[in-house]
């Protein structure tokens, strides 16, 4: 890898030389099957893979890579974050992606990006590699951390669930595809708008619920025919909705609320059930 140019004069020449070469990706995983499959997929998309199954193997390859993709749990009490810290000290300009089956509170340190195994797709990894190639050429990496963070929450909840995330003023921070389609707008339309101003005639008055969840950090559960809307749509009078609002700390450390809704497959014996704040 060519490190960031020391001057603008030779930067253009170095950039030209790196863009004509395939990107060398260090793949660290203690599972041989994972290494084989991940390497095969990345090679199909033009990447040169440098596999390693241990911390020792990975550190020996530091000088021959452009981007590192490190599994978090390596077994025997070892973790990919140890490799990330070593790599960051030795070659600070190499982008690092951590793959993990869990969201760990220690993430957000030396790695550039964290992908959640079991929820992140092959396309997520390819998109991450593509976005981090800019850093290989000495340019700053810009990642939409807010959308990445919220999308992982939505994926963990389920793609069939309508998921919206608000601040205490009812301003949308995130809206997943299912909720956007149901409400009749593109996902981008919601961000930065207030549900209280934009959809008051159509949606139920969620102001008290969202503000209470944000301020008290309590949870709201509603099993009802009403769903998200003030009046059910013509095809929905018999539907029973499960609506849940729970607190979250937003990307900027403010208090927020996640509002989820889905249609129950089997209506309960009671046609309507409203549980108070817990």
Q: What is the pLDDT of residues 66-78, one digit of tens each?
A: 889 998 888 777 8
**How is residue 55 written in tokens?**
């911390």
- Domain contains 2: no
**pLDDT at residue 99 greater than cutoff 90:** no
Q: Which of 22-31, 36-45, 65-74, 227-236 has the lowest mean pLDDT?
A: 227-236
Which residue did the predictor score with more confidence, 180 or 229?
180
Mean pLDDT along residues 113-126: 70
Predicted local distance difference test score (pLDDT) of residue 15:
34
Q: What percent of the chain has pLDDT over 90?
A: 29
Spatial distance between the Cα atoms of 122 and 143, rounded to a whole number of angstroms: 18
- At residue 229, the 3 state secondary structure works out as strand
* Spatial separation of the C-alpha atoms in residues 133 and 96, rounded to whole Å: 11
- Answer yes or no: is 7 within a domain: no
pLDDT of residue 110: 58
Average pLDDT over residues 112-134: 71
CATH number assigned to the domain comprising residue 248: 3.30.450.20
For the record, the structure tokens of 207 come out as: 């102001």
Number of domains in the chain: 2
Considering the domain architecture, whether residues 112 and 184 belong to the same structural domain is answered as: no
CATH of the domain at 83: 3.40.50.2300
What does the pLDDT read at residue 274? 42
When mean pLDDT is compared over 83-92, 93-102, 220-229, 258-267, the highest value belongs to 83-92
Q: Which of 143, 176, 204 is at the close of a domain? A: 143
- The overall average pLDDT reported for the chain is 77
Q: Are residues 119 and 164 in the same domain?
A: no
The first and second tokens of residue 25, run together, are 């990706």
What is the Cα–Cα distance from 216 to 209, expressed in whole angstroms? 10
Highest mean pLDDT among 108-112, 117-121, 149-153: 149-153
**One domain for residues 94 and 33:** yes
Identify the pLDDT of residue 167: 92
pLDDT (0 to 100) of residue 141? 45
157 shares a domain with 178: yes
Confirm whether 12 is domain-assigned.
no
CB contact burial 67-90 (16+ within 10 A = b; e otherwise): bbbbbbbbeeeebbbebbeebbee
Residues 170 and 219 in one domain: yes
143 vs 8: CA distance, rounded Å:
24
Packing angle of the helix pair 122-136, 32-44 (nearest 10 deg): 70
Q: Which domain holds residue 195?
A: 149-265
Same domain, 172 and 66: no
Residue 203 in any domain: the answer is yes
- Final residue in a domain of this structure, among 143, 177, 207: 143
The domain boundary, picked from 108, 143, 178, lies at: 143
Instruction: Give a yes or no: residue 9 inside a domain.
Output: no
> 158-199 pLDDT, tens per residue?
888 999 999 999 999 999 999 999 988 998 899 899 988 887
């Amino acid at each position: 890898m060519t490190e960031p140019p020391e001057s603008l004069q030779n930067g253009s020449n170095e950039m030209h030389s790196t863009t004509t070469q395939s990107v060398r990706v260090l793949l660290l995983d203690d599972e041989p099957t994972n290494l084989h499959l991940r390497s095969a997929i990345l090679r199909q998309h033009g990447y040169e893979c440098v596999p390693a199954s241990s911390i020792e193997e990975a550190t020996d390859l530091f000088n021959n890579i452009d981007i590192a993709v490190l599994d978090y749990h390596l077994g025997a009490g070892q973790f990919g974050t140890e490799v990330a810290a070593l790599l960051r000290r030795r070659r600070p300009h190499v982008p690092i992606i951590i793959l993990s089956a869990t969201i760990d509170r220690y993430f957000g340190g030396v790695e550039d990006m964290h992908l959640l195994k079991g929820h992140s797709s092959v396309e997520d990894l390819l998109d991450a590699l593509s976005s981090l190639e800019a850093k290989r050429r000495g340019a700053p990496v810009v990642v939409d951390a807010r959308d990445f963070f919220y999308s992982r929450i939505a994926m963990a909840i389920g793609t069939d669930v309508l998921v919206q995330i608000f601040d205490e003023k009812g301003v949308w921070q995130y809206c997943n595809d299912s909720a956007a389609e149901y409400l009749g707008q593109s996902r981008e339309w919601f961000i930065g708008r207030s549900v209280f101003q934009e959809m008051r005639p159509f949606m139920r008055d969620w102001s008290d619920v969202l503000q209470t969840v944000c301020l008290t950090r309590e949870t709201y559960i509603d099993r009802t025919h009403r769903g998200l809307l003030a009046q059910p749509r013509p095809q929905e009078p018999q539907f029973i909705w499960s609506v849940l609002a729970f607190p979250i700390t937003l990307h900027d450390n403010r208090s927020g609320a996640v509002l989820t809704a889905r249609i129950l497959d089997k209506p309960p014996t009671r046609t309507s059930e409203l549980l108070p704040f817990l």
